[in-house]
Structure 1
Amino acid sequence: MRPLSVNQLLTVIGGELEQGSKDILIRYGAYRLKQVKEANTVLFLYRRIINWDRVKDFSPIIVVTEWKYSLKDVPKNVVLIKVDNLQVAYWRFVYYYRGQFNLPVIAITGTSGKTTTKEMIKHILSEDKKVIATHLSTNSRTANLQYLLSIDDKTEVAVFETAVGSPGDVLKAGEYFKPTIGIITNIGAHHLNYCKTLEGYIEAKAEMLQILKQGGTLILNVDDANIRKLNTTPFLGKMIKIGKQDVCQYKISNIRYGREGMHFIVSHGGNQYEGYIPGFGEHQVYNAVAAIAAAHQTGVSIPSAITRLTTFRKMNKQLQLFKGIHSSLILDDTWSITTTSLEAAIKVLESVGKDKKKIAIIGTITDLGSWGYRIHEQAGEIIYRHDVDVLVTVGEHARIIGEHAKKLGLSIPIYGFNNSILAYELLEKIIDERTIVLIKGDMYSETMRELASKLKKKKSPPS
């Protein structure tokens, strides 16, 4: 954070100093007491009741409040600022801080691929720039202030995920970050417990178009069916399309599997560039080309971006290949699960597992609300359309996947379990050296993580 004095803060938010020195420097910010980790933090205090003893370890601390306190109750190490409206004061502070910096800010949303795309962009740009980015997939709205304040005078580019848990999340992130470049990787079906319908979820993702100021750049994967449903007519900035279609400014072609990753060609401005990205799957190529396009917009040449991506380190638990029990192969994809990422994973299983027995182990898809039954049926339809030899589901709702696939006519062995213990007992019997296993689940599912751990012998893509 670029430090500012209490006196400067008073001017920015229009507050009155009730206790403390105007000369103290502010180096951190928070709007919840539990977010305070260091001294010299400004805390925007929404609740009236506060345990003042909890702030003693963070002296000096600057508290901004709209509540009136008796100064005899407030510790002397607390700088107390009174404002008429805390919400107004907070956003004045946020807007002021963001307004101090003129730099490229890249915001990424999508049902899947946003963390990988963000990490790819960070990897490309970090070679010669100071980059600030969200940490792995920690992208909740409660972290926005800390990420904003991580921008300082040394920062040259910022890259942030803007996740959608409910409508308005992307708009709110835009209020903090004011992105200059926005990316939508894809739109599947997720977080329907709050967005209510797929159309509502698409609209929530479309908020990306609103948070890019005039002159901003929007990067879209136009091969995605739901992205094509977006009404882009009101968007006044620069639109960049990636995909296999001729209309794409960054056109993808000749995708093929390599020993440990994907080869592809990206065409731009009449030139063709041969690319490679570690990690399996066509979806990985789309992530890479979105990252290349974003980096190119910040001034990195396409050949340089491609070269830097060859050393990109694959994300943990995202289609990582391991040696497994009984000399099998294990594809660990227990980072997250949506129907979009499930289909991508099944396609990798088909391609990597040619001439092998292919077992798919699928866990429950979460955050679906009343749509849970239908989305699990759609997952069953995905399994039905692809070449899988054995299906194992783990979890009560995941059982719907197998039941629906069987109803459609899938005539492979299908097993449903509620826990990993019984699932492992079966798998231990049917897995051999001719088997490749995809285990697909959510990072928050202890059951799926435990099962993946049991199935893996040691890390390393086999020769």
Structure 2
Amino acid sequence: MEIEELYSRFQVCGTVTTDSRHCPQGSMFIALKGETFNGNAFAAQALAQGCRYAVVDEPEYARGESYILVDDCLQVLQQLANYHRRQLKTPIIGITGTNGKTTTKELVSSVLSKKYKVLFTQGNLNNHIGVPLTLLRLNKEHEMAVVEMGANHPGEIKALVQIAEPDYGLITNVGKAHLLGFGSFEGVIKTKGELYDFLREKGNATIFIQNENSYLNAIAHGLHCVRYGQASGLFVSGKLLSCSPFLAFEWMSERNTYPVQTHLIGAYNLDNALASVAVGKYFDVAPEDICEALSTYMPQNNRSQLVDTGRNKLIVDAYNANPTSMMAALENFRQVQAPHKMVILGDMKELGEASLEEHRKIVGFLDGCRFDRVMLAGPEFKAVASAYEHFDNVDAVKEALEKSKPVGFTILIKGSNSMKLSQLPAYL
């Protein structure tokens, strides 16, 4: 089936699903495969649940007119998304980066929503499946779209930008993450820079860039740069006011100064906030609306959330961790004013041969912090941190917390998502 004919059927359906447990009436089911499942086997169930069509790529599952047989369902999902994007021509801002891309996506979307009807990536659906699913949610009412793109291997951003074809780009930063997949820090820079490469080839493209980031400046040649940062005279200049623990900052533009009190934890979120200010100002969102959007945004999903349990105050940042974000979180926590401070850290995953050395650097930083209590979870930390409490996994941490029952602490909880430290607030 040609993409034009498939698209006409998609237009009749109005929406797609890849989950046979969630089948909006009249939708199109696309049978994807994973390591432990074959979506083709659920096509009949999807039709029974209300889907109009089931797209499959194994002939034995195509059992009637409601089935559409294709060569590769994942490829069809991506082609359909790209074709849909081209038909609507909605302006798209593509966002990637090692740290802060989800928070920045949320902030940018909140700011733009003050003036425009905005579609944006839900949660962290930022991969080869999430990006096309996001694009297929576009409709004629949307005036702009903000699409987050993630990667842990070379070439993945290139593949995603070819699907989304963004008009504008924003790389939050580059840092040491997924080194096992990228091979090196240089591999991280090259892959994130594939967003710039696409826009450069497209021509007359605009990027929003952190002015003081030397790595990004080195690969931004040939692009129109809208600059934000802490230096004076930029498109948007900003200054940290306080972070105890919530970020307060002010931004300056055309001799006017605008103070903002946020619900974001961490001075490292200043750049993410300034990025959203720059995008908002570029697209003529009123300064007062920009400030309101940032002051009312509430972080969720274990991303720098402040939780008051009644016994302790928790800074929960357990969604992800890499050397750059871990060091930034610890540096910020060291500056937080609190009578008793404690950290619970989990291993940073996917660092390859650099893993032990990067964990050793974190432990070295901890040595100079003088926190009241340090609990480290995972084999990588255990191998380099004999001076601190260390545990094999989150269950062992739970047992220790059940016995000691800490009270009156401000506690930073941070680790890679697979360490499951997000389970700990219930024990604190």
State TM-score, norm by structure 1. Answer: 0.78
For the pair 1:444 / 2:414, whether they are aligned, the reply is no
Is the 2:33–2:39 contact (alpha carbons within 8 Å) kept by the matching residues of 1? no
1:432 offset after TM fit, Å? 4.3
SS of the residue 1:310 aligns to: helix
Aligned counterparts, 1:110-129, within 5 A: 110-129=97-116
Q: How does 1:98-137 map to 2 (within 5 A)?
A: 98-137=85-124
Which residue in 1 is equivalent to 2:220?
Answer: 232
Q: Which one of 293, 309, 327 corresponds to residue 294 of structure 2?
A: 309
Query: Are the counterparts in 2 of residues 251 and 266 from structure 1 also a CA contact under 8 Å?
Result: yes
% identical equivalent positions: 21
Q: How many residues align?
A: 419
Please name the residue that 1:332 is paired with: 316
Aligned equivalents of 2:332, 2:28: Cα separation in 1? 47
Label 1:318 to 1:218 Cα distance change in 2 as closer, same or farther (>3 A).
same
Q: How does 1:42-81 map to 2 (within 5 A)?
A: 43=30, 53-54=44-45, 56-57=47-48, 60-61=52-53, 63=55, 74-78=62-66, 80=68
1:11 to 1:438, Cα distance in 2 relative to 1, 3 A: closer
User: 1:386: how far off?
Assistant: 4.0
Match of 1:373 among 356, 370, 376: 356
Q: Is this contact kept in 1: 2:92–2:146, CA < 8 A?
A: yes
Match in the other structure for 1:217: 206
SS in 2 for 1:283: helix
Contact 1:29–1:145 (CA under 8 A) maintained in structure 2: no
Kindly indicate whether the alpha-carbon contact (under 8 Å) linking 2:209 and 2:227 is maintained by their aligned counterparts in 1: yes
1:338-370 per-residue CA deviation (whole Å, 9 max, x = no partner) reads: 22222222233223234x232221101012223
Q: Which runs of 5+ in 1 are unaligned?
A: 1-5, 14-21, 407-413, 456-463
1:291 to 270, 273, 276: 276
Shift of 1:216: 2.3
Query: What letter is aligned with 2:424?
Result: L
Q: Which residue, out of 5, 9, 13, partners 1:10?
A: 5
- In structure 1, which of residues 158, 163, 179 is the aligned counterpart of residue 150 of structure 2? 163
CA contact (8 A) 2:15 2:28 kept: yes
Kept in 2, the 8 Å contact 1:124–1:308? The answer is yes
Alignment correspondent of 2:377: 394
1:271 to 235, 256, 262: 256
Q: Distance in 1 between matches of 2:30 and 2:379?
A: 44
For residues 316 and 172 of structure 1, the distance between their equivalents in structure 2, rounded to whole angstroms, comes to 27
**Match for residue 349 of structure 1 among 333, 345, 348:** 333
Structure 2 CA distance, aligned partners of 1:316 and 1:246?
34
Cα contact 1:353–1:436 (8 A) shared by 2: no
Question: Which letter does structure 1 place at the counterpart of 2:417?
Answer: M
Which segment is superposed worse, 241-250 or 51-60? 51-60
d(CA) in 2 for partners of 1:399 and 1:12? 53
Q: CA deviation at 1:239?
A: 0.7
Once residues 361 and 134 of structure 1 are traced to their aligned partners in structure 2, the CA distance between those partners, rounded to angstroms, is: 30
* CA–CA distance in structure 1, aligned partners of residues 406 and 6 of structure 2: 68
What amino acid does structure 2 have at the position aligned with 1:219? F
Q: CA deviation at 1:87?
A: 9.3
Aligned-pair CA distance for 1:192: 1.1
Q: In the aligned structure 2, how far is the partner of 1:334 from the partner of 1:24?
A: 40
8 Å CA contact 1:130–1:156 kept in 2: the answer is yes
Q: Give the drift of 1:271.
A: 3.3
Counterpart CA distance in 2 for 1:109 and 1:9 is 30
